[in-house]
Amino acid sequence: MNIRRSAAFLAVTATVAATAVVGTGAAVAAEDDWCGPDDLRVTVDQASPEEFALDFTAADPATDCVLQGYPHAMSFHFISDQLPVDIDNPGEHSPEVRITADSPGRARITQDPNAEPTAQVPTAALFALPTADSIDPQYVAAQWPERAELKSTITVWPLLPA
């Protein structure tokens, strides 16, 4: 099972890498030091049965970039299949979060406890980074925690300093 999950995660990651390379045509203004996929390590950890932490940490000690808002265009995948999930966000304001080696960021995913679980446990989450660049969004993939059930209705909360 671990080999299958790893292979599925690698397949989604390869798709993200191809999207990131193709989708980088427009440059972001120099004063807006937005994070890109290469600047970050993104992980998902289960905080409780109904909550997940989506952590954004610096990929290396020299990383110094900004994220703001919600992870968006989010999808969940089992192997190569996208799982149907209703996603909401509360519309709260999110300050800019500077990501450095000493300063990570975190967004939360909460599940509706009354919602049905998805047909399979995801192997990966795919989403656009929370930046101001909505024209050329930068996508990342994060491996989903093994055996962590995902409900069919979730809320994605804004990125905040961790």
pLDDT in tens, 73-120: 999 999 889 999 999 998 877 899 999 999 999 999 999 999 999 999
What is the reported pTM?
0.80
pLDDT at 134: 67
For 98-124, letters b (16+ CB in 10 Å) and e give bbeeeebbbbebbbeeeeeebeebbbb
pLDDT at 125: 96
With a CB cutoff of 8 Å and minimum separation 6, the contacts of 109 are 44, 51, 52, 53, 54, 154, 155, 156, 157
Task: Delimit the domains of the chain by residue range.
Answer: 2-25+33-161
pLDDT digits (tens, 9 = 90+) for 131-149: 876 678 899 999 999 999 9
Distance in angstroms (rounded) separating the CA atoms of residues 156 and 71:
7
Q: Mean pLDDT lowest for which of 33-42, 59-68, 107-116, 124-133? A: 124-133
Distance in angstroms (rounded) separating the CA atoms of residues 157 and 109:
6
pLDDT at 12: 52
Displacement of CA 96 from its chain's centroid (Å):
17
Sign of CA dihedral 146, 149, 151, 156: negative
